[in-house]
Chain A
Amino acid sequence: MVTLEGVQKYYGTAHVLKGVDLKLGKGEFVAVTGSSGSGKSTLLNIIGGMDRPDAGKIFVDRNEISSYDDEKLTLYRRKKIGFVFQFFNLLPNITVIENVRIPLLLNGSRDEEMAHAFVSRVGLEGREDSYPHELSGGEQQRVAIARALVHDPDIILADEPTGSLDSSTGRAIMGLLTRLREETGKTILLVTHEEYISRYASRVLKIRDGIIRQ
């Protein structure tokens, strides 16, 4: 489903990704581990269409997204990708349900039922009208997961999703992600530096100095 061929990325003089080759199958749950500055987040940003490689190619469903312009990449993100971040990145001034609705709205859908259904699926029924600051960290991450899944994307990209949570909440979030993947069959690429998180994945890759080691 996702194929990376010799992907390289520079930030100024820093050679962050030094020829990454990677294949992700449909419905696969892959964890990428590595230390800070190893290039994990850059890899996610490139697969997620937030950044372009300086060399190499990326194919998603046989489409070469590395050749896409900004407009096409935006559409690609909107349709195919769901992001989950370490610090949740919810819009602070709108409610839970409005946060979850945003990807639907960007896709031109006004299906409120779908948003409510996903809020329920992540266990936040009754909190729809709360504001993010009224929720705990774990609850905020649940909202972020609901938001990442609500528009039915093919790929979920999760950047240290438990990084700002305590371990028991982190486990609960990972349990939720695993359950939802099983229910929806989504492909998940998750980057983390926590060993125990990678145990939830079906495949674990290590990235060191910009190179993936299987």
Chain B
Amino acid sequence: MTLTELIKVMVLKNMKREKFLTVLSVIGVALGIGLFTGVKAASDKAISSFEADIRGTNPYTNFEILDTAGTDFQEEIYRTVRKIAQNSFPVLKVEGYLPEIKSAIDIQGIDLIRTAGFLKLSPGRGSSFENYFRGLNSAIITRAFASSHSLKRGDIARAFVYDKEFSLRVSDIVDDASLPSNIFLMDLGNFQEYFGKTGYLTRIDAEADETTVSEIKKILPPSLSIGKKEAAIRNQKSLIKSFRYNLQFVSLIAILVGIFLLYNTIFISVVKRRTEIGILRGLGASKKTVVLIFMIQGLILGIAGSMLGILIGQVTAYFSVTAVEKTITSMYRAVSITDYFIPKTDIALALALGVLVSLIASAAPSFEAARIRPNESTREGTFEGGHRRMRRAYALAGLVLIALGCAVSYIDYHSMPYDFPFLAYAGILFIIFGFTLLSPSYLSLVLSGLGRPVEKLFTSVGVITVGDIKGSVYRFSVALMSVAISSALIFALLTLIFSFRNSLKAWINKNIAADVYVKPASCRSNFCFFPLSDELIKTVEGMPEVAGVDRFRTLQIDFQGRKVVAGFGDREIRRRSGDVGLAEEERRAERDFGTDRIIGVSKFLGIKFDLKVGDTVELRTPRGVQKFVVYDIFSSYSTTSGFVYLDRKWLMKYWGLDDATQFAVYLRKGADVPAFISRINEILRPRFSLSITNNAQLREHVLSIFDRTFAITYAIELISIIVSLIGVINTLLALVIEKKREITILRYLGGSWGQIRAKLVLSAGIVGVTGIFLGGIMGPLMSVIFIEVINKVSFGWEIHFHIPFYYLSIVTAVLFLITLSAGLIPLNVAKGVDPKRLISFE
């Protein structure tokens, strides 16, 4: 008999016979792989959009000249630069927002004639290019953006740009995959004139070698710097690296549960067919053949799972793109992802993952099958017997792994040897594997303690069930671990989310104290970088009910060699307006340190640069390097790339700026806030497009950003729960399939279906209770690692541990009920068995 025929008989026929189990396994694997692939594709698209933005309209240039604070600069310098580097191109850019189609856009003014050679702009279309130059508000957009928002040539789009409203006319549509999909290309001159930015540039792209770069450096003022585009791309990628890997890690846990599921299915095939394997071995099949048969079964299931996973991944990617896009827009800067198709490389990755998952899952049962001796075919209990002998060794190995998991996580917490919490992630995996190895001993221990009460409570069914579980501890441990991992993940993520939310609320109470907050409607991120008109601020300051306006300016500055967001606020205004808490803190610090050159740094930077209060840091400013004393290391939930806070007086002194990118308004006591907002809307709306919120709305908005950020985590959690529940059903079903003959014997001995149902539900209940309890130990342990290590190393967010007992008890009850009902599904399988056939089989 050839191997193919053997596979047909031993694998395919069996899969057909156990359709439900096969389908469950495939779905379980598919969900894990789909989730992983979808999340990966979505975050990769965001990264590509970053990369496309930096490479932008001049993809063949390798250097860029930027203002060190990220502001626009005077264009005169371009003439000098061009003399040194012929291939240099000026760019003026701004982020805009199209309210009708609710999309953030990236408007770039370029020298089209010089850039056209690099871009695929098909200059053959003379007429449309003419329109492009003629119309002051004409813009070229990408085919991807036009298709996804149904825009065509000649359409006019209302756009919020800077702090005003404009209209943009689509003069042409181009196919160029290297451009960011949400780009609106305008002629540089038109851009400057239309948006009132005459004489300004945002960056200069240059194609240069090291000698040319040295020449350029010589002529640049201190406020400008030239850097490699590659470095900028790396920097941008590193910004969302943590966000991306954290999502992928959680989806990896779903794959882990999928491995359990597949392992279980293959394992069942082995246990169920011991006799057949024994006969095969007796007929001369080698151990290698037996291993191959079961590995191939695993591969078939794994590959089928991957293929379905790719479809699920595509759906996941579609929804993840929106969530990732919104999160990155809030946390970093506006991105728009119009392409959500999984690339070929990810399809290959999904298939490779499927193969890997199936190999991992089927290895142990396949080798177990190969160990079956021809004369062993009727000795069914030998399998559990073998593991029973190994239980102590398993438990010991489990304890060692758990200790190792805690130890490596602690190393990450204490020393942070890497930029990314690899050790903590490894620690979580060690802990999961450790508990898996420990679970048989744990179950035995629980049964020896709970056995008697269960037997008393459930009388004869209790005795039979406890006896059965005691006899199949290893098998039941697999089911138990499915529930345990699922509940641990729920406990850990719920604890993380609620702890985070509570900490955020405390932060809101401390920091959001003004009555009204104003920022440009074009700004979709937490921090805005484009200055507001002076006229606007003056108008507000002049209103009678206003006690003070805290003009807030954000810049992107160089902090110890890293690009971070710097916020400049007006302490005196806050103090005068009654928001004394923070202002007093700063004054006290000035007294303590004997200097007013103080700076607050976010915890993220504190951790990254090992900073303590009282340390001195250096900031690179247009007026040279300046030293400041760290007076506060605070939590900043607004960004994950690091944030520093300084008083406004330093903005003028060292950056030569006195503008604001957003501002907070303090009203006089007794002023009617809604009436004030209506009034400024009335006065300002015709000329400006602004986002105006009152204190409560901003608080609500911050929390809604939080919920949006975690939306994808909720989705991952939900899918992980589904995979785990499939795992529970699969395991219980597998147990029934494995125990069909035992159920039949019980029927012969007079066991009623009611008693068998009670036994199955009680088994499921015991699995549920013990699994949830173990999850209750693993979950908090995982949440401590999530909060204290992974979160700190990745984002530097300070999160105060808060266990949401109320929600956890609801989730626990729901999980328990679902596990119980999972116990009912296998009953139908058991009922479908013809007892006579099973007993007479032998």
B742 touches A103 (CB 8 A): no
B459 touches A83 (CB 8 A): no
Q: What are 27 A-B contacts defined by CB distance under 8 Å?
A: A41-B836, A71-B752, A77-B747, A77-B748, A77-B749, A83-B749, A85-B839, A86-B842, A87-B378, A89-B745, A90-B745, A91-B471, A91-B745, A92-B380, A92-B381, A93-B468, A93-B472, A94-B471, A104-B460, A105-B459, A105-B461, A106-B750, A109-B460, A110-B460, A132-B381, A133-B380, A134-B385
CB-contacts of A92-128 with B (<8 A)? 92-95, 98, 101-110
B835 touches A105 (CB 8 A): no
B459 touches A108 (CB 8 A): yes
Distance between Cα atoms of A108 and B378 in the complex (Å): 31
Interchain CB contact (< 8 A) of A105 among B460, B470, B471, B836:
B460
Knowing A50-B835, A106-B751 touch, does A93 contact B381 (C-beta < 8 A)? yes
B551 to chain A, nearest CB (A): 75
Knowing A45-B836, A93-B472 touch, does A133 contact B746 (C-beta < 8 A)? no
- Does residue B463 face the partner (Cβ distance < 8 Å to A)? yes
Q: Which of A77, A81, A92, A104 has the most CB of B within 10 A?
A: A92
Contacts of B463 in A (CB 8 A): 101, 105, 110
B842 touches A87 (CB 8 A): yes
B749 touches A103 (CB 8 A): yes
CB-contacts of A51-104 with B (<8 A)? 51, 70-71, 74-79, 81, 83, 85-87, 89-95, 98, 101-104
Chain B: interface residue total (CB-CB under 8 A): 34
- Does residue A210 face the partner (Cβ distance < 8 Å to B)? no
Contacts of B836 in A (CB 8 A): 41, 45, 50-51
Distance between Cα atoms of A83 and B63 in the complex (Å): 88
Q: Using an 8 Å CB-CB cutoff, how does the interface string of B459-499 with A read, 1 for contact, 0 for none?
A: 11101100110111000000000000000000000000000
B745 touches A133 (CB 8 A): no
Q: How many A-B residue pairs have CB under 8 A?
A: 101
- Does residue B415 face the partner (Cβ distance < 8 Å to A)? no
Residue of A nearest to B841 (CB): A87
Knowing A48-B748, A50-B748, A102-B749 touch, does A94 contact B470 (C-beta < 8 A)? yes
- Does residue B755 face the partner (Cβ distance < 8 Å to A)? yes
Distance between Cα atoms of A102 and B471 in the complex (Å): 14
Distance between Cα atoms of A154 and B385 in the complex (Å): 36
Contacts of B742 in A (CB 8 A): 91-92
Distance between Cα atoms of A147 and B746 in the complex (Å): 12
B749 touches A106 (CB 8 A): yes
- Does residue B419 face the partner (Cβ distance < 8 Å to A)? no
- What 5 pairs between A and B have smallest CB-CB spacing? A78-B750, A93-B471, A105-B460, A92-B381, A133-B381
Contacts of A95 in B (CB 8 A): 471
Distance between Cα atoms of A85 and B840 in the complex (Å): 9
Knowing A93-B384, A94-B467, A94-B471 touch, does A102 contact B746 (C-beta < 8 A)? yes
Distance between Cα atoms of A74 and B751 in the complex (Å): 7
Distance between Cα atoms of A151 and B748 in the complex (Å): 14
Distance between Cα atoms of A89 and B525 in the complex (Å): 70
Distance between Cα atoms of A147 and B750 in the complex (Å): 12
Interchain CB contact (< 8 A) of B741 among A89, A101, A107:
A89
- Does residue B118 face the partner (Cβ distance < 8 Å to A)? no
A133 touches B749 (CB 8 A): no
Distance between Cα atoms of A93 and B738 in the complex (Å): 12
- A85-B839, A93-B381, A105-B463 provided; 10 other pairs, C-beta below 8 A? A45-B836, A71-B752, A74-B747, A77-B747, A77-B748, A92-B471, A93-B471, A93-B472, A95-B471, A105-B461
Interchain CB contact (< 8 A) of A147 among B378, B459, B749, B835:
B749
Residue of B nearest to A103 (CB): B749
A103 touches B464 (CB 8 A): no
A106 touches B385 (CB 8 A): no
- Does residue B753 face the partner (Cβ distance < 8 Å to A)? yes
- Does residue A200 face the partner (Cβ distance < 8 Å to B)? no
Distance between Cα atoms of A95 and B379 in the complex (Å): 14
Knowing A91-B468, A93-B384, A101-B463 touch, does A133 contact B750 (C-beta < 8 A)? no
Knowing A92-B381, A93-B381 touch, does A74 contact B468 (C-beta < 8 A)? no
Distance between Cα atoms of A139 and B102 in the complex (Å): 79
Residue of A nearest to B456 (CB): A110
Contacts of B384 in A (CB 8 A): 92-93
Residue of B nearest to A137 (CB): B378
Knowing A41-B840, A89-B839, A93-B471 touch, does A133 contact B748 (C-beta < 8 A)? no
B467 touches A131 (CB 8 A): no
Residue of B nearest to A157 (CB): B748
- Does residue B167 face the partner (Cβ distance < 8 Å to A)? no
Contacts of A48 in B (CB 8 A): 748
A74 touches B835 (CB 8 A): no
Interchain CB contact (< 8 A) of A74 among B471, B745, B752:
B752
Distance between Cα atoms of A49 and B742 in the complex (Å): 18
A143 to chain B, nearest CB (A): 12
CB-contacts of B696-712 with A (<8 A)? none
Distance between Cα atoms of A14 and B379 in the complex (Å): 34
Q: Which of A74, A76, A101, A147 has the most CB of B within 10 A?
A: A74
Contacts of B379 in A (CB 8 A): 133
Q: Using an 8 Å CB-CB cutoff, how does the interface string of B721-758 with A read, 1 for contact, 0 for none?
A: 00000000000000000000110011111111101000
A116 to chain B, nearest CB (A): 15
CB-contacts of A120-172 with B (<8 A)? 131-134, 147
Contacts of A106 in B (CB 8 A): 460, 464, 746, 749-751, 755
Knowing A89-B745, A92-B380, A133-B379 touch, does A75 contact B468 (C-beta < 8 A)? no
